[in-house]
Amino acid sequence: MKKKITYTHHTKIKMIKYEDLRKVNQLAVPNYKQIFNLFWNSGNYILGKNLQNFENKFSKYVGSNHSIGVNSGYDALFLSLKCLNLPKNSEVILSSCSYIAAVNAVIANNLKPVLVEPNINTYNIDVNKIEEKINKNSKVILITHLYGKSCEMDKILKIKRKHNLYLIEDCAQSHGSRFKKKLTGSFGEFGCFSFYPTKNLGALGDGGLITTNKKYYYNRLKEMRNYGFRKKNYSNIIGVNSRLDDFQALFLNKKLKTLDKMNNHKIKLAKIYDKLLSRKLIKPLITKDNKNIFHIYPVRYNKRNELINHLLKNKIQALCHYPVPPHKQNSLKKFFKKQKYPISEKIHKTVMSLPISFSHSEKDVRYVCKIINKFL
């Protein structure tokens, strides 16, 4: 009979939450009360100077010519696709292993999502399987830099140019991530960012942003996010109401100054996981050209749910972010009839996220490793 494992010390420590947003934001932006007063006193709360300042600073940070603040990461994807004005049922190639937002944005634009399996080692789209899905109806490659690890951009750009395709980057999880020396969000026609509170650069509510290098796209997107207005009350195109408000922009502008510091802290914690965690877990692949900023620290384990429950009993909160792949979602099944994506399904069935936040200490991570290794 297997000897029962007991832990006599876990009751002496507080719960290691997966994420403590209050603590993260207090550490990243300690003068948050002053920021609210600045916003309040400005008297300009929508499409004001605070938004313009953040857009300019974020463009400079990423290395793009222009930024357009919008309401969410989903809106960034939706509006980028809409901006291209593609024929109905044009095909958009994207990974079968990602959050549901990208597929939803494609369908909402009356376009056809074409899924490509991920690389089992990186979780990003398998660049060696993209070209087999390209045909005369293919118009866009929409890549997701999943979990904070950049895709193989040199190979993707080669395919884009060879087949004259548009490239949209889903950077919702890759603020500050690089491929070689270039930041994600600066490679394609559009880079789409989310500022959902749990992101490495998170707001105090919903928020998103689009980066682009082309003036034409910049001007068009500015109109599209604000009812199609080029100037007040005069609409030139069909637009929507999708504007990043000035309070979120002001907060994000202050937080942007600490983004690299926050990312480096997470990278330091990831190195502890890499070193101490048992090889019985499948840990993230470390590659020279892809700077991973660890939006999450993903590991794979066949008995994932048992391990998550075990950690919870020992006052550690781990999560399963995406248990169901897009093609298995009830709302999307009809778009992928008789299609099988076994690699994506394997990842979604076994992947889990360990605590790795700006609010976590090295001591926290060492304790997580100790509890996991004893279980394994």
225, 318 in Cβ contact below 8 A?
no
What distance in Å separates the CA atoms of residue 39 and residue 365, rounded to the nearest whole number? 37
- pLDDT for 7: 40
What distance in Å separates the CA atoms of residue 235 and residue 182, rounded to the nearest whole number? 37
Query: Average pLDDT for residues 229-250, to the nearest whole number?
Result: 94
Provide CATH code, domain 10-26+258-375.
3.90.1150.10
**125 CB contacts (<8 Å, ≥6 apart)?**
94, 95, 97, 116, 118, 119, 143, 144, 151, 156
- pLDDT for 33: 85
**35 CB contacts (<8 Å, ≥6 apart)?**
29, 250, 251, 254
**33 CB contacts (<8 Å, ≥6 apart)?**
none
How many whole angstroms from its chain centre is CA 344? Answer: 17
Extended beta strands in the chain, E state: 66-70, 91-95, 112-116, 138-144, 166-170, 178-179, 182-183, 190-194, 208-212, 229-231, 234-235, 290-291, 297-300, 351-354
- pLDDT for 231: 87
Residue boundaries of the structural domains of the chain: 10-26+258-375, 31-256
- pLDDT tens-digit profile of 108-138? 999 999 999 999 999 999 999 999 999 999 9
State yes or no: pLDDT of 4 exceeds 70: no
Asked which of 10-14, 85-89, 247-251 is least confident by mean pLDDT, the reply is: 10-14
Please tell me whether residue 291 adopts helix, strand or coil conformation. strand
- pLDDT tens-digit profile of 269-278? 999 999 999 9
- pLDDT for 233: 87
What distance in Å separates the CA atoms of residue 229 and residue 250, rounded to the nearest whole number? 24
Share of the chain above pLDDT 70, in %: 97
- pLDDT for 376: 94
For residue 168, name the pLDDT band (cuts at 50, 70, 90).
Answer: very high
364, 355 in Cβ contact below 8 A?
yes
Q: What is the largest CA-CA distance in the chain?
A: 77
- Residues paired with residue 168 on neighbouring β-strands, in sequence order: 142, 190
Please tell me whether residue 16 adopts helix, strand or coil conformation. strand
Give the CATH architecture of domain 31-256: 3-Layer(aba) Sandwich (3.40)
pTM (predicted TM-score): 0.94
Q: Identify residue 307 by its one-letter amino acid code.
A: L
Query: Average pLDDT for residues 279-303, to the nearest whole number?
Result: 96
